[in-house]
Amino acid sequence: MAGLLSRLTGKKKETGSLETRADEAFERQDFTTAIALTRELAEGGSAPAMYRLGEIFELGLGALQDFAESLQWYERAADTGLADAWEKLGDYYLAGRGEQVGQDDGKSGTGTQGKRKLLDILSVQADFGKAAHWNRKAADAGVAAAQARLAYQYVQGLGVERDLEKAEKLFLAAAEQGRPSAQRGLAMLYSGGELGEPRYALAEDWFRKAADQEDHGAQAGLAVMMLNGHASSGGDAEAFALLKEAADGGHVEAMHILGDLHKEGRGTERDLSAAETWFRRASVRGNRHASLALGFLLTETLEPRDYVSGAQLFRTLAEQGDATAQYVLGRFYLAGTGVPQDDEKAAQWLEKAADQDMMQALEALAAMRAGGRGGPQDIQTADALFERAAQAGSVDAPYHRANIILARAEGDDRADAVDLMKESASRGSGAAWLRLGVFLAHGELVEQDYAQAAQCYVKAADLGLSDGLFNLAFLRLRGLDPEPADARSGIELLEAAAEQGNRSALWALHNVHREGEYCERDETLSEQWLLRAAREGSGAAVIRLAERLDTQDYTGPSKEDVIGWLREAANQGESDAQIFLALWLAEGKHVVQDQEAAFGYMHAAADAGHAFAQAWLGDVLSNGQGVLKDEALAVQWYEKAAAQGHEGAHIRLKMAAEAEA
C-alpha cells in the first residue's frame, strides 16, 4: 500500500504533501491517520486516493472489511477515468466479493439472521453484465488483466454472447503483455480445438510461456499435452514433475491427475497409497472427479476393498446430483455392496441418474423394471427406458429391446426384433452378434446359413465374448463351418474359450476327451478339464464330482472341496447345483441337515424356471416338510411345473382336484 498514490499518478511526491504524509502513516501502520489523510485527498477529487480507499476497505487495512464501501470508492475512481479502477470493478462484478448470501433462514432477532443481514450489507453480488462493461473499458485501455478477464467471459458466455474469436483476440493482446492467465487461456483455446482443428504447436508455446512464470494451471495444461502425446517434447516423467509442482502450488486438478498417474504408474512408480493421498487432497478441495476416482480406488483397486467408505463418498456426490455417483450407488444397493441390499433404494438412485440421461443407469433401471425388481414388473416402461438408452448411445439397448419383443410377440413384430438385433450388432454388441449367429445356425427367424453364423460368432469373439469361440468350435467340429472340418482346430477354439474362463467350454473339453468322438479318448486330460470346470463354477462339472462321492472306489478331490465348489456354483445361480445342494441339505447327506437352507436353494432354482425344483417345492409345501404347510401355494408351484410338462406335478394337481370333488 505504501507509495500507492504516487504509483498510480506517476508523479513524484512533494515533501510534506498530503500524499507523502498518508504514505508515511501507512508505513508506520498508523492506519487512523493514514485513512483520514487518504479520505481528505479523495474528497478533494484525487482518483488514486479513491482507489486507495477502495483497497483499504477491500483488504480491511485499519478498518472493517467492507466490500460494499470498497465498491463505492472504486466506482468513484472509475468515474474519473482511472483505468485501474475499471479493471478492479470488472473483477468485482465477475467474481463477487464476500459471502454470497441466500434466503433468510427465518430465525429471529440476532444471531444467524443478524449475521446474514450484515454480510448482505458488506458483500458485493456478482453481475456478469456489469463485469463485461467495466472489463471492456479497461481492456480498451490496454489493461492486460481486464483483457484476459473479458476473454474468459466471451469463452463462457458470461454477460456477453459467446464469441471465441473475440476471446482469442483479447487473450492474445494480454498474452503479448506477458499476462500468464491470458497465455494459459490462449493455449487452452488452441489445444482444445475450440477454434477449429487443434493447434498443438501454438498451444504448447503459450503453455510454456505461462508455465515459465509458474502459472500452475499452465503447468498442468502442458503436462496433459505431454501425457496425450501432443507436445513436441517431454514425456510422462516431465509431465509428472510439472503436475507435482502445480499440485504443490495448490492446483486442484493437478492433484487429481497426479493421483491417476500414481495409480497407473505413469511417470513414476505405481503407488496406490500416493494415489489415494492425492485423490483425497483434491477431493476435500471440492474436485468432483477426484472424489469419484477415490471412490473407485477404494472399491475396485485397493486391497482390502473398502466398500463402506466408497459408498459414503458416492452417496455424498449422489446427493449433490452427480449422475455417475447416483448410478454407482444404485448398483451398490442392488448388490448390497457397502450398503444393505435394497432393490427399492437401488431403483430410486438409478432413476435419478436416468433422469439425467445417463446411459448405464437407463439400462440398469430398464432391466430392473423388466424383471420386476424394486417395483412391479413393467415391460412397457422397460422398453421405453431401453429406447432412451439406445438414443444415448448404448450398444446393447437395441438387443434388449429385441429380447423383450421376442418374449411376447409373433409375426411381423418378431421381424422387428431381428432388425433391432442387427442394429445392436452394428453398434458393436457382442451379445447381439452371438444371438444373430444362433438365429442363423438354427434357421430361427432367418434363413439358415452356417457360413454367416460363423462370421457372427467370430465378431462376438472379437468383442470379447468367449461364447462366440465356443459356438464356433462346434460348427468347426461338426463340419458346418465354411472352414474344412477340423477336429484339432475345433478343440483349439474350445481351449481358447476355456482359457477365458468359459464354463461351457471347460465342461465340453472334459466330455470331448472322455467320449473320444473328436479325438482319442484321454481320461487324464478329461479329469483335468473336469476339475478346472468345477473350480470355475460349472454346475454340471461339480455335480458329476458330487455324484461320485457315493461310489465305493471314489478318487478325486476331497469331499470338502467338492462341497465348497457345489456351494459356490449354487450361490452363483447355477440351478442344477442349487437343486443338488438342496437335496443334500434336506437329507443331511455329506452336509449338516438344514431344511431352511434346502428350501432357499430350491426356491432359487424354481424362480429360475426349473420344473423339478417347482414340483419339489409343491411337495414340501403340501406335506409341511421342514416348512409351514400351505396347500394353496403348493398348487401354484405344481401348476408352474406342470406347465413345463412335469408329469409328477400333473399327477399331484389331478389328485388335488379329485380330493376337492
- pTM comes to 0.81
| pLDDT in the model for residue 393 | 96
Largest CA distance in the chain: 123
Q: Are 190 and 206 in contact (CB under 8 A)?
A: yes
Sequence-distant (≥ 6) Cβ neighbours of residue 101 within 8 angstroms: 116, 119, 120, 123
Map residue 97 onto helix, strand or coil: strand
What integer is the mean pLDDT of 625-630? 85
| pLDDT in the model for residue 315 | 98
Domain ranges of the chain: 543-605, 609-661
The H or E element that residue 629 is part of is none
CA 420 to CA 416: how far, in whole Å?
Answer: 6
Sequence-distant (≥ 6) Cβ neighbours of residue 422 within 8 angstroms: 432, 436
- pLDDT tens for 276-309 read 999 999 999 999 999 999 999 999 999 999 999 9
* Alpha helical stretches, state H, 63-143: 67-79, 83-95, 112-122, 128-140
| pLDDT in the model for residue 345 | 98
In the predicted structure, residue 7 carries a pLDDT above the cut 50: no
What integer is the mean pLDDT of 166-175? 98
In terms of pLDDT, which residue wins out, 320 or 407?
320
In the predicted structure, residue 493 carries a pLDDT above the cut 90: yes
- pLDDT tens for 475-488 read 999 988 887 767 89
Backbone φ, ψ for residue 97 (5° rounding): -140, 140
- pLDDT tens for 444-467 read 999 999 999 999 999 999 999 999
In the predicted structure, residue 121 carries a pLDDT above the cut 70: no
Q: Which of 62-71, 99-108, 171-180, 498-507 shows the lowest mean pLDDT across its residues?
A: 99-108
Burial environment of residue 456 by CB neighbours within 10 A (0 to 12, 13 to 18, 19 or more)? buried
DSSP class per residue in 415-451: HHHHHHHHHHHHHT-HHHHHHHHHHHHHTSSS---HH
| pLDDT in the model for residue 625 | 82
In the predicted structure, residue 116 carries a pLDDT above the cut 50: no
DSSP class per residue in 454-506: HHHHHHHHHTT-HHHHHHHHHHHHTT-SSSPP-HHHHHHHHHHHHHTT-HHHH
CA 602 to CA 193: how far, in whole Å?
Answer: 60
- pLDDT tens for 500-540 read 999 999 999 999 999 998 999 999 999 999 999 999 989 89
Angle at Cα 569 formed by Cα 401 and Cα 442, nearest 5°?
40
Mean pLDDT, all residues of the chain: 92
Give me the amino acid identity at 483. Answer: E
Q: Are 250 and 281 in contact (CB under 8 A)?
A: no
| pLDDT in the model for residue 413 | 75
